[in-house]
A and B are shown apart, each in its own frame.
Chain A
Amino acid sequence: MKGLDILILTATLFSVFTALSVAVLSLIWIERKLLGRLQRRLGPTRTGPFGLLQPVADGIKLIVKEDLVPSWADRIIFWTAPLLVIIPSFMIWVTIPISRNLVVENLDLGLFVIVALLVISILGLVLAGWGSANKYGALGSLRAAAQLVSYEVPLVLVVISVAVISGSMDLRVISAIQVPLDTAQPILDEARSNFSNFNHVGLPLIFIFPLGLVIFLLAGLAEVGRTPFDIYFAESEIVGGPFVEYSGAHWSVFFLAEYMNTFAVAALAGLLFLGGWYGPILPEWAWFLIKTYFFVVIIFWIRGTFPRLRIDQLMAFGWKVLMPLSLMAVITAAIYRFYEWPAWSLTLMSLSGLIVVGFAFYLKYTRPVLRLAKKYGHRPGGIRNVR
Chain B
Amino acid sequence: MTWLVFTVLSGIIVGGGLGVVTTRNVVHAALFLLVSLIGVAGFYVLLLSEFLAVVQIFIYVGAIVIVLLFGIMLTRSGEYPRIADNEQWPAAVLMGLGFFALLALALLTHPNLSDERNEINLSILGESLFTDWALPFEIASILLLIALVGAVVLAREDKKS
Contact = CB atoms under 8 A, between A and B. Distances in A.
A195 B123 contact: yes
Interface stretch (B64-72, B84-92, B98-106, B131-139): B64-72
Contact of B122 (A77, A142, A195): A195
A146 B70 contact: yes
B54 A112 contact: yes
Contact of A142 (B61, B63, B65, B70): B70
Interface stretch (B4-12, B26-34, B108-116, B153-161): B26-34
Contacts of B54: 109, 112-113, 116
B100 to A, nearest CB: 28
Given A77-B31, A109-B54, A195-B123, A123 B70 contact: no
B122 A149 contact: no
Contacts of A127: 27, 31, 69
Interface string A109-127: 1001101110110110011
Contacts of A24: none
Nearest to A197: B123
Task: Categorize the interface residue count of chain B.
Answer: 20 to 34
B117 to A, nearest CB: 12
A107 B121 CA distance: 13
Contacts of B55: 116
A126 B123 contact: no
Contact of A194 (B27, B34, B69, B119): B119
A203 B19 CA distance: 53
B107 interface: no
A126 B119 CA distance: 36
A70 to B, nearest CB: 16
B57 interface: yes
Given A116-B58, A142-B73, A194-B119, A109 B51 contact: yes
Interface in A116-174: 116-117, 119-120, 122-123, 126-127, 130, 138, 141-142, 145-146, 149, 152, 169
For the complex, would chain B's binding face be called helix, strand, loop or mixed by DSSP majority?
helix
B34 to A, nearest CB: 7
B58 A149 contact: no
Nearest to A117: B57
A335 to B, nearest CB: 16
Contact of A123 (B58, B61, B120): B61
Interface string A186-198: 0000000111110
Contacts of B31: 76-77, 80, 127
A112 B125 CA distance: 15
Contacts of A113: 54
A152 B61 CA distance: 13
A108 interface: yes
Contacts of B123: 195-197
A122 B66 contact: yes
A130 B62 CA distance: 17
B156 to A, nearest CB: 15
B57 A130 contact: no
B83 interface: no
Contact of A145 (B50, B69, B121, B122): B69
B74 interface: yes
Interface in A172-225: 193-197
Contact of B69 (A76, A108, A126, A195): A126
B62 A120 contact: yes
A115 B62 CA distance: 10
A108 B27 contact: no
A205 to B, nearest CB: 19
A197 B121 CA distance: 11
A152 B59 CA distance: 12
A126 B70 CA distance: 8
A149 B73 contact: no
A284 interface: no
A113 B58 CA distance: 8
A196 to B, nearest CB: 7
A162 to B, nearest CB: 14
Nearest 6 A-B pairs (CB), nearest first?
A119-B62, A116-B58, A145-B70, A116-B57, A116-B54, A126-B69
Interface of B: 25, 27-28, 31, 34, 50-51, 54-55, 57-58, 61-63, 65-67, 69-70, 73-74, 77, 119-123
Interface of A: 74, 76-77, 80, 107-109, 112-113, 115-117, 119-120, 122-123, 126-127, 130, 138, 141-142, 145-146, 149, 152, 169, 193-197
21 contacts: A74-B27, A77-B27, A77-B31, A80-B31, A108-B120, A109-B54, A113-B54, A116-B55, A120-B57, A122-B62, A123-B61, A123-B62, A123-B69, A126-B69, A141-B73, A142-B74, A145-B69, A146-B70, A149-B66, A195-B122, A197-B123
